[in-house]
Structure 1
Amino acid sequence: MTKLSALPLFALAAAALAAPLAAQAPAPRLSITSIDQLAQPLPYPYDEQADAKAAVAHAKAQAKREHKKLLIDLGGNWCGDCRVLAGILDLPELKPYLARHFVVVKVDIGRYDKNGDIAGRYGIAKLQGVPAILAVDPVHDTLLNNGRLFALTDARHMNPQALADWLAQWA
């Protein structure tokens, strides 16, 4: 192969590597810059009586059918960071974006004594904090954000835009 014929192959390989980055849908710009601007009171997002396994199975089937990613939000209503995350997810700029790219299911983990098997299904033996977000490819039922599940456990000290941008990595 000559140098001239290798050039188009190099360009093709570079384009293929860049494609996943170009395909990423950037998060919308949020109108708030601080969590202090979130509507009060913050939501209690987790249904403590829900059948979590059924909810996750339903959400996974929907995500597969709609060609979206699945976001499993593991947390508890007692958790301030979980409630802040819920408030940010409900922002008018972010909610439609999430609906376009994800099916979101919220799973109550109690006081780390409920629904641990849902995280276990994806290789997480023990939750290291909440909220824990599992970004899942519903077709292959694989975890997309392994090693970065607990990035939002300090949501109340995060910039809302940074949080939205973190979620956009999986869109």
Structure 2
Amino acid sequence: MKQTALAFALAASLATPLAAAPAPRVSIQTINQLAQPLPLPYHEGANADRDVAAARARAKATHKKLLIDLGGNWCPDCRVLAGIMELPEVRRFVAQHYEVVTVDVGRFDRNGQIPAHYGITGRLKGVPSLLIVDPRNDKLINEGRTAALADARSMTPQALADWLAQWA
């Protein structure tokens, strides 16, 4: 009986990420308060393989997590997330805990090798898709939750910051 309870507790703890740091308190209440125009964070001509490898090396050296932001400038939810991440309090938090790299996925027809490397094959479930990676072993930490912010427009700025904090 004790083993079953212990196994259940262990499984529950593994299913839910541990928050390493409290989320920053976001200074705005709604996404309508974001500065306009919203950022265009993805670069079509970038070498995604090189950029991800460099960000992973920086993350490993600085003992941070690697955050790979897969999306496209055509995507309003991607741009909302980028706007939230540019808020000073969120930018400080992200810089403290993550090395961020953006990867343009076009219209789901570009740079598919990046998510495939982490076991995500086929079409992404939505964008933005965020891959939180442990740079020491190059393993995806947020498996099954990569597209959680694909509806960023319907979330509060604080909810977006809270999601980022849960993996820090």
TM-score by length of 1: 0.87
Are 2:64 and 1:68 equivalent residues in the alignment? yes
1:170 aligns with 167
1:26 is displaced (CA, Å) by: 1.0
Select between 22-31 and 38-47 the one with higher mean Cα deviation.
22-31
1:104 is displaced (CA, Å) by: 0.4
Q: Give the count of matched residue pairs.
A: 156
Distance 1:156 1:22, change over 3 A: closer
1:139 is displaced (CA, Å) by: 0.2
Which of 20, 27, 33 does residue 24 from structure 1 map onto? 20
Q: What pairs up with 1:93-132 in 2 under 5 angstroms? A: 93-126=89-122, 127-132=124-129
Distance 1:23 1:152, change over 3 A: closer
In structure 2, C-alpha distance between the alignment counterparts of 1:21 and 1:132, rounded to whole Å:
17
In structure 1, C-alpha distance between the alignment counterparts of 2:18 and 2:119, rounded to whole Å:
29
Instruction: List gaps (5 residues or longer) in structure 2.
Output: 1-12
1:80 aligns with 76
In structure 2, C-alpha distance between the alignment counterparts of 1:76 and 1:23, rounded to whole Å:
28
Q: What pairs up with 1:7-18 in 2 under 5 angstroms? A: none
Instruction: List gaps (5 residues or longer) in structure 1.
Output: 1-16
Are 2:46 and 1:50 equivalent residues in the alignment? yes
TM-score by length of 2: 0.88
In structure 2, C-alpha distance between the alignment counterparts of 1:135 and 1:22, rounded to whole Å:
13
Distance 1:89 1:23, change over 3 A: closer
The runs of at least 4 consecutive aligned structure 1 residues that moved more than 4 Å come to: 20-23
Which of 135, 156, 159 does residue 159 from structure 1 map onto? 156
